[in-house]
Chains A and B, each alone.
Chain A
């Protein structure tokens, strides 16, 4: 048999290899090295972390390929990069750069307010954000090989990450215990492909790996998300907007590996220096909420 390259199994498989790990936002090659040395399983290469995107305002786009290449050359772990929702040409460029994963991300300004990228058309796997089961299964239907709950990026406030993870996992519980005759209406109500609803019911979990993102700033936040039942975490602004990024990054990696061991969590949480300042999600205006982006 000939070898088959970039199958859905290998796309989904890379995310399976990232489970139990921490994916960190980095804006320079130097940051990427710090993240790798701290034990990150992958880095997300971008020009500005979400907290700065919030502060700066304006249109947030794909990062400069030069920066992404520098980061790819500096580390041996997988490198992810973000494309705007619906911006399939940014995704084509990221694929041409051979990034390991593309994040079709609500953190950037959406390029299309109706349609997401047809991710089946790419060899590079995609991760997409979700707030609930329907959104997760629509993205998987479009070809996403990994899901992350959105949370509210760039806030350092974990409340939305918790809300979205509880929503997705709660809906899966509901689905698993639902009488057969309710399934089609459930699929209709959450706006998800029926076949993926059935697969999720049968598996008792999402058909692809599901990380948490958006607002995770401490080892305790990361372990909280793991105990709620996600497969791993993304930490964006939480590391490089804190007082001692290397130390905090290593502590969050350890907290995810030992998420159900409070003794170790207590140990790794000591003396981490200043956390990122953060913004309460409650204080954000409607139009400042990034998680609302996605259809």
Chain B
């Protein structure tokens, strides 16, 4: 069973996508709801709001512990929460060796859609089609270090997806598309981590 952190943001979209690919799901708002989960998605939303609620309801430490043992994927705000540095004083899980820049493209008026090449998705699909990236007041991953690897970049080279073992961060929102490849890719990560 895979959980979706449901404190705020696009958690219903992730739950729907997971159900469509046959995954059992659970909404997570309190620490005890992490029990017996095989993986977790932290959705898009406002990272300051999600971070504050995670602190207020005692989820920060349990999420850090969970992330040591199980797969976590963060989209947009979720990617910010996974990072070790967002260049701003706000609660982070600091699980991935990435630094992010919030609202890196500017305000809402600069939000955009673009097709991305994500070679790693060949693992879950034979089709070669690019992945349609939806970027909303999106962050950028401005550096990866340690064991973190780049999964996708914009045409100009700026990083928008990274993986570090069983942890995945995307600056864009696969949950706002009809393309389930990133979700299936993440489920493979969940299974890999369980088997390890």
Contacts and interface: CB of A to CB of B under 8 A. Distances in A.
Interface of A: 1-7, 9-11, 13-14, 16-21, 36-42, 72, 76-78, 95, 98-101, 123-125, 250, 253-254, 256-258, 261
Contact of B6 (A20, A77, A124): A20
20 contacts: A4-B112, A5-B109, A10-B111, A10-B112, A13-B173, A13-B176, A16-B13, A19-B10, A20-B45, A36-B48, A39-B53, A40-B49, A41-B8, A72-B107, A77-B46, A99-B107, A100-B108, A100-B109, A101-B108, A254-B56
Task: Enumerate the 10 nearest inter-chain pairs by beta-carbon distance, A residue then B residue, closest first.
Answer: A10-B111, A100-B108, A3-B114, A20-B8, A1-B115, A39-B52, A41-B46, A3-B112, A5-B112, A13-B136
A16 B7 contact: no
B111 A6 contact: yes
B111 to A, nearest CB: 4
Interface in B111-136: 111-115, 130, 134-136
Contacts of A21: 8-9, 45-46, 49
Nearest to B56: A254
A256 B52 CA distance: 13
Contact of B53 (A2, A14, A253): A253
Nearest to A79: B107
Interface in B125-157: 130, 134-137
Given A3-B113, A42-B46, A123-B109, 19 more contacts: A3-B114, A5-B110, A9-B134, A11-B111, A13-B134, A14-B108, A14-B111, A17-B45, A17-B77, A17-B136, A37-B52, A38-B52, A39-B48, A40-B49, A41-B46, A72-B107, A76-B102, A99-B107, A253-B52
Of the four ranges (under 10, 10 to 19, 20 to 34, 35 or more), the interface on chain B belongs to 35 or more
Interface string B41-65: 0001110110011001100000000
Contacts of A101: 108
B76 to A, nearest CB: 7
Given A19-B10, A36-B48, A253-B49, A98 B112 contact: no
Contacts of A76: 48, 88, 102-103
B29 interface: yes
A98 B106 CA distance: 9
B11 interface: yes
A5 B13 CA distance: 22
A100 B53 contact: no
A19 B9 contact: yes
B95 interface: no
Nearest to A261: B29
A4 B48 contact: no
Given A16-B13, A17-B44, A4 B109 contact: no
B12 interface: yes
Interface string B89-106: 000000000000011001
A7 B49 contact: no
A69 B164 CA distance: 39
A254 B46 contact: no
B109 A6 contact: yes
A8 B81 CA distance: 27
Contacts of A10: 108, 111-113, 134-136
Contact of A254 (B53, B108, B109): B53
A20 B9 contact: yes
